[in-house]
Structure 1
Amino acid sequence: MSRVASQRETIDFAAEAESVVCRLRDSMADVIARVPGLTYRRPNDLAADLGLATKLAWKIGRCLDVADPFASAQFVPGPTGMRAFLRAAQRRGVPKPALDVVRQAYEDFRKLVRTHGGTRKSFDMLAAGLAGTDQMRADLEHRRLAFEGNSYIWGVRAR
């Protein structure tokens, strides 16, 4: 593959990922805004008002609050978490069409993950590489994982 083709694929991935993640975040924010009586200021509000697990509420909150779509992609809940979020919103009276928009946006996100990353973990690494913010945290995490992998391979731990 030529360098130009590789750059073009990176640009195409970046544009598609940004569009898909922003659409998903916007639709999730719309659902939260439609929950009667919920004033979202921080993730604990979601946990308390929707009855979500604290960790799931934190992930949703981070996904919505991080401005950079590439950095926020790592916080998109998995399928079980997304189902729990949508069920909780439905129980609180959010209209079905708004929930369907999230479902479609989430399916588009999962397709993006499969197409470009194969696995969620691989996709998160691709997205983290494009993130303009939170890059240091991603770098540190990948260095830690490399250290653990090399320790296993070589049977040595040096600090």
Structure 2
Amino acid sequence: MFKNIKDSQVTITELMLPAHSNFSGKIHGGYILNLMDQIAFACASKHSRHYCVTASVNRVDFLNPIEVGELVTLKASVNYTGRTSMVIGVRVEAENIQTGKKKHCNSSYFTMVAKDENGKNVHVPGIILDSEQSIRRFSRSITRQEQAKDRTSAFKATEFKMEDYLEVLKKHNAKVLL
């Protein structure tokens, strides 16, 4: 079974309140991460029609601070489908209500796994790739997965060669005492 990407897309908008701010008066990154996880869950569950759990989050860069009083809009879309998992792309934008100016605050990729009522992984529907953008996003997810496998294996304790990194470490803010 295959589903159209647009049928699972989710958008939420929320007003940022003082209770969401950190000590510097900006919206707390943890609060935004919580919202991102919620919308990724909603999108994945809508696509799979099952309860979903977060398996991983691929890189979250906070590009612009979010101010109290701004409207934050989160958009989620299925970028990739595996056998039991999905990669959900999440985009966060903030809008100044008074000026109407919008800014991209961050984007991230959540890998979500569909579960049945007993907590076992279940198959998810595939997605229909009907645009160059959808093919690009799907392909980027495949590449990201391959790069993650390479990173993981290169630094396994059994594979790691310290000698290969000692020169590199000299260029960084660290002191090696062996």
Shorter-chain TM-score above 0.5: no
Structure number with higher strand proportion: 2
Quick check: which has more Rg, 1 or 2? 2
TM-score, normalised with respect to structure 2? 0.29
Structure number with higher helix proportion: 1
TM-score, normalised with respect to structure 1? 0.31
